[in-house]
Amino acid sequence: MKSILVRYGELTLKGSNRDIFIDKLNKNIKFKLKPFKSFFDYKKDRNSLELEIIDEKYIDQILEELKTVFGIHSMSIAHRVGHDSQEIIKKVMEIAPTLSGFSFKIEVLRKDKSFKIPSDIFKREIASEILKTIPNITVDVKNPQKLVNVLIKNNNTYIYIDKIQGLKGLPVGTSGRGISMISGGIDSPVASYLALKRGMKVDFLHFMTPPHTTPEAVQKVFDLIKVTSKYNVRDFNFYVCDFSMLLKELMHMKNDSYRITIMRRVFLIIANKLADKIEAQAIITGDALGQVASQTIDSMNVIGSVSERQILRPLITYDKEEIIKISEYIGAYPISILPFDDVCSMYVPNKPIIKPTLKEAEFQEKELMLDVMIDKTLKDSIKKYYLKDGEWFEAE
């Protein structure tokens, strides 16, 4: 019989809180694997999880789902047998032909000391059988190409060769709730993904300015969030804010070099007020230090000063090549580069300020009717959407 062994990694270092993290991970795994729940049995302990496979034709699909769950350090497809030494050797020899052409090493770990053969003796016995039977193979104890693991625990023995790397990180939902200010570009979906990796449940907020932003531009954001949703939890929401009224007011600014600075300050004010309603503890942005005028340290200081909540900037030290690499990995890049502009890119002035001052920003804002318009926008111009079975629905 085959099992999938799931290892927790970082979660086992959480001391007295480890059970909280492990319980959340297990809940997230169960949710992910709900369509396959009749095809495996679920067994957990303090250091790992075993999925005992009932129908092996679903094993690849189950593994693909597990690869999207933060908090999993690694996984292995293991053959499960009893504690009889000959039964163990027989099962090793059934999979040993896959070692041909490679160097190998045997590791035996006896967690159940009722198995009487010492680990060193038993591994030499197994290696001897492999060397006698399998052609074109060598032992390399320092840098083997294949590592054959024999894990003896409780009443069962698990035999596996390869470890499949998980996403690591922390289970989503263990680090609070954040609102990701998502555009249609490359950076913000990657920032959302990295916040999820550190255990934060992520909701999304997007600003549009119809008719200047096209339906295709908004659809692009829906598609980007759908891509990242496979790493999220089940009950996240997507908020779309019609920013048209506020944008018209910003276009009246006397000093247009501050337009993007003030626009982003207003974005943050709205995000904070939304966070009040949904009890989010942080705002997530795709800022990377020095990438554009609004992401200089002076700009981020002035823009961020309006936020009552922690602003998380997961990409702050990343360069564009590193960001693109992650975007490609999560499947967002082909969508992000579609030629549909977001609100910020459409209204960048010819010479945006790169060293704004708080005093000047606040002076510019006093010349505008922002407070009333922000309140009206929050009341009348935000729609909430949720994803169910791969389809978007507007919440009432």
How many domains is the chain built from?
A: 2
The answer to whether residues 269 and 377 touch, using CB atoms and an 8 Å cutoff, is no
| 46 inside domain | yes
| 171 inside domain | no
263 in the same domain as 356: yes
CATH code for position 219: 3.40.50.620
pTM higher than 0.95: no
| 70 inside domain | yes
Domain boundary (124, 142, 165) is at 165
196 in the same domain as 88: no
- Tens-binned pLDDT, residue by residue, of the chain (396 aa): 899 999 987 777 777 888 899 999 999 999 999 999 888 888 877 778 999 999 889 999 999 999 999 999 999 999 999 999 999 999 999 999 999 999 999 999 999 989 999 999 999 999 999 999 999 999 999 999 999 999 999 889 999 998 999 999 999 999 999 999 999 899 999 999 999 999 999 999 999 988 888 889 999 999 999 999 999 988 899 999 999 999 999 988 888 899 999 999 999 999 999 999 999 999 999 999 988 878 899 999 999 999 999 999 999 999 999 999 999 999 999 999 998 766 655 566 778 899 999 999 999 999 899 999 999 999 999 999 999 988 999 997
CATH code for position 144: 3.30.2130.30
135 in the same domain as 93: yes
195 in the same domain as 98: no
**For strand 391-394 and strand 282-284, is the pairing parallel, antiparallel, or unpaired?**
unpaired
| 58 inside domain | yes
Question: Whole-angstrom Cα distance, residue 207 to residue 377?
Answer: 11
List 242's β-bridge partners, or say none: 208
Question: Whole-angstrom Cα distance, residue 317 to residue 295?
Answer: 11
390 in the same domain as 293: yes
280 in the same domain as 195: yes
Domain boundary (116, 145, 165) is at 165
376 in the same domain as 307: yes
244 in the same domain as 156: no
Helix (H) and strand (E) counts in the chain = 14, 16
Among 191, 175, 174, 179, smallest CA distance to 384 is for 179
155 in the same domain as 216: no
129 in the same domain as 197: no
Find the domain containing 278 and state its range: 177-394
